[in-house]
A and B are shown apart, each in its own frame.
Chain A
Amino acid sequence: MKRLFLILCLIAAPAFAVQPDEVLSDPALEARARTISKDLRCLVCRNENIDDSNAELARDLRLMVRERLVAGDSDEAVVRYVVDRYGEYVLLRPTTGGANWLLWAAGPLMLLGGLGMGLVYLRKRQAAPEQGSAALSDEEQARLNDILKE
């Protein structure tokens, strides 16, 4: 039931992910290409990076990344080159710009909030008088007296 729409990619091109003929001869460049590819999205496959994707378009993107690397671009320049052509949508690791700071800060902020609330709660628990062991209220004392009298 999962990943059914992977079919789309498979139908598009029954090839498979990175092909032997794409691999660059320079291992350092190839390693950089792989790292960059892992953060770029295959646009027709949904939520798959171009490194894992079987689609023809992903292959084109992989070749484009390698072409730019061979041409001497830095990693950032390669990513910028791809984003300029395909938009921010290709980035699997969203930028921190604009409203996205909220996305990135959400976890740490919530942790701080949670810890703060937890601490307040714990302090309250610490201060609360232990029920049962504490002295009886007047009402309880009266009831106890009644019971003892019987």
Chain B
Amino acid sequence: MLKPIGPRDARLYNEVMITELGHFALILAFLVACVQAVVPLIGAHKRWPGWMAVAEPAATAQFLLTAFSFGALTHAFVTSDFSLRLVVLNSHSLKPMLYKVSGVWGNHEGSMLLWVLILTLFGAMAAWFGGNLPPSLRARVLAVQSAISVAFFAFILFTSNPFLRLAVPPFDGEDLNPLLQDPGLAFHPPFLYLGYVGLSMAFSFAVAALIEGRVDAAWARWVRPWTLAAWVFLTIGIGLGSWWAYYELGWGGFWFWDPVENASFMPWLIAAALLHSAIVVEKREALKSWTILLAIMAFGFSLIGTFIVRSGVITSVHAFANDPERGVFILMILAVFMGGALILYAARASVMEAKGVFGLVSRESALVLNNILLAVSAFVVFIGTIWPLVAEIAFDRKLSVGAPFFNMAFTPFMVLLGLVLPVGAMMPWKRGSIARTAKPLIPVFVLALALAGLAWAMQSGRSLLGPVGLFLGSWLVFGAAVDLWSRTGRAGAGRLRRMTRLPRADWGKAVAHGGLGITMLGIASMMAWEAEDIRVVQLGESYEVSGYTLVLDQVAQVEGPNYFATRGTVSLSKDGRPIAKLFPEKRNYPVARMPTTEAAIDGRFLRDIYVVIGDPQADGGWAVRTYFKPLANWIWGGAILMALGGALSLSDRRYRVAAGARKAKVAGVPAE
């Protein structure tokens, strides 16, 4: 007997429709992108304003359609619609709401949808805020941007469709990987993607400028904020990922030089080079073709990163899409865009003649050196990442390239970069003198050297790592402060007040450079001065690690929303003074059938105490690992400062006042 349609069935019908409409919107967005990739390009070539004008509404439509599609998928996750294959594989009705939402991008298909959502968002933003761009440049930028979306929409629809249904929906899902059910990781992919995809804007601008055949200060002023924003997001994304690895994986490592980590690190390094070289284009109209090349390479590395992650070609702990079809598709995207852009570059780069003249010792040269060091270090990471593949294909050798290689081959370039940075940052444009620029830095240099010497004397004389880290950290931090101070002029009175009125770009520069120093110091100190303790502890037994006393008070079984856990209670004290109670856990997620360790961390300004509980032992005790990690938080604190510096610089007046770009262009004309 048929039941009458009640309110519940109507709701069910609506939910089914929302998912289908999301699928439909995605297909429609693909078609809009096809139009936007072609029509404005022809319009710009033929000088047909009507055709060029297509780009703007198309970019908006593309974004709205993709946003709707993404919203529909999110809706399916939130309402646990188990007729969708993706929801079944990655969700569970008992999962906390935050992870139902983050489950949307905690898998291949959904994360690619997030990728294009951000891509179309950037495209739409270029359309909305690109009013002061020359119309033909804007049309070309939007067309190139849309060509990228065409490729990725096709990738999603033909190889990784998130909207596939199951004929027989199961009663419940298989749950998201418990390692991913974590606030740090919930927001790691969106930030990383904002960074990766933000670099697509730099790419689109570079290709459009090559087609236009002109690069000037106004162009650089347009490209730099996008690159800066992308770099800030990448910094936050990488920082979040590393922080997550630190507290979640259970041994307090923060960076593993895993191919997937390298995939995000290479674009970060190249973007850092690009945002520095764009300054030279903006201020001095030099380094143009190199900047264009960097813009192409930065996005190229983003695509390579996507390829590495999605194809699983370079087997890594992360490779979760071991699907050759997808790998080949992304490789084709990579080949088309990089090949096309580089051919265009080879044909047109010579058009970009430089204007500025500068001496061998100048800010320009310092920035060239910065670019060389960053590009070479990115190249070292690249070689190390693909070398196992190269060796296997070309020399039939199965070998590994791991952290020891990268630590040895990569670090020297960063040390060099840190050494020259404070001097280079204070060098005047056009022509400078090392002696005069370095003079105000001498006290800082001596101070940094003294601190390093002190550290060397105080440690048990094992390695140079800690002292070098301390030297670089203080050299960069105090160097940035001196840089800022020297900008306030010579007169003694009112300098402090003038310092607060400096342009935000100056503050951004100092904060970001100081942040780099703090991160370097944090990494070095954690690697050099960490202490580790592994032992079997009986209940009530106390033990000492680096001057701290720990007592294992009790071990209990507790129950979470979708897991069971063994939770230890550890009292931390120093010299009889209690500091904290720590609760390390071993969790078991029954649905995903997977255990995880939840380290307990007492994080303080100068050190972390990191406790992990292990298995029960035959004699009734528990295996416990304890770490003393000096300056651990400084690693991420420095990353936050770097991101903050970028954001400060981004909010500088000359980017906020759009008229500035126009005025500069008008002022530039009579000079020719």
Contacts and interface: CB of A to CB of B under 8 A. Distances in A.
Interface string A106-122: 11001100110010011
Contact of B177 (A4, A39, A94, A132): A4
Contacts of A122: 358, 360, 364-365, 368
A27 interface: no
B360 A123 contact: yes
Contacts of B404: 38-39, 92-93
Contact of A6 (B179, B188, B259, B615): B179
Interface in B407-434: 408-410, 412-413
Given A2-B244, A132-B671, A89 B399 contact: yes
A41 interface: yes
Nearest to A97: B397
Contacts of B249: 3, 6
B311 to A, nearest CB: 14
A48 B384 CA distance: 16
Given A4-B317, A47-B400, A16 B612 contact: yes
A4 B534 contact: no
A92 B402 contact: yes
B320 A5 contact: yes
Interface in B231-264: 241, 244-245, 249-251, 253, 256-261
B369 interface: yes
6 contacts: A1-B185, A5-B316, A47-B259, A88-B398, A107-B410, A122-B368
Instruction: Enumerate the 8 nearest inter-chain pairs by beta-carbon distance, A residue then B residue, closest first.
Output: A92-B402, A93-B404, A114-B372, A107-B380, A14-B595, A4-B320, A20-B536, A130-B357
Contacts of A69: none
Interface stretch (B20-28, B201-209, B387-395, B509-517): B387-395
A41 B372 contact: no
B648 interface: no
Interface residues of A, number: 57
B177 A46 contact: no
A1 B180 CA distance: 6
B251 A52 contact: yes
Contacts of A39: 402, 404
Interface string B116-142: 000000000000000000000000000
Interface of B: 105-107, 111, 177, 179-180, 185, 188-189, 241, 244-245, 249-251, 253, 256-261, 286, 315-320, 354-360, 364-365, 368-369, 372-373, 375-377, 379-380, 383-384, 387, 391, 394-395, 397-405, 408-410, 412-413, 534-536, 593-597, 612, 614-615, 617, 623, 625, 671
Given A3-B245, A94-B399, A125-B357, A47 B258 contact: yes
A3 B179 contact: yes
A119 B517 CA distance: 27
B470 to A, nearest CB: 23
Nearest to A117: B372
Nearest to B354: A125
B395 A1 contact: no
A19 interface: yes
B175 to A, nearest CB: 12
Interface string A1-28: 1111111001100111111110100000
Per DSSP, are chain B's interface residues mostly helix, strand or loop, or mixed?
mixed
A1 B317 contact: no
Contact of A99 (B244, B394, B401, B612): B394
Given A18-B534, A91-B400, A131 B316 contact: no
Contacts of A107: 376-377, 379-380, 383, 409-410, 412-413
A135 interface: no
A1 B189 contact: yes
A49 B318 CA distance: 15
A38 B410 CA distance: 18
B308 to A, nearest CB: 12
Contact of B245 (A2, A46, A100, A132): A2
B179 A20 contact: no
Contacts of B179: 3-4, 6-7
Contacts of A115: 372
Contacts of B596: 10
Given A48-B256, A110-B379, A132-B671, A41 B402 contact: yes
B395 A98 contact: yes
Given A106-B379, A107-B376, A5 B317 contact: yes
B220 to A, nearest CB: 17
A43 to B, nearest CB: 10
Given A98-B397, A99-B394, A130-B357, 7 more contacts: A14-B595, A18-B534, A20-B623, A91-B400, A94-B387, A94-B405, A107-B377
Interface in A51-88: 52, 87-88
A94 B201 CA distance: 38
Given A1-B180, A3-B179, A88-B398, A118 B369 contact: yes
A94 B369 CA distance: 29
Given A4-B177, A15-B615, A107-B379, A92 B405 contact: yes
A103 B401 contact: yes
Contact of A126 (B177, B180, B358): B358
Nearest to B613: A16
Nearest to B430: A130
B372 A111 contact: yes
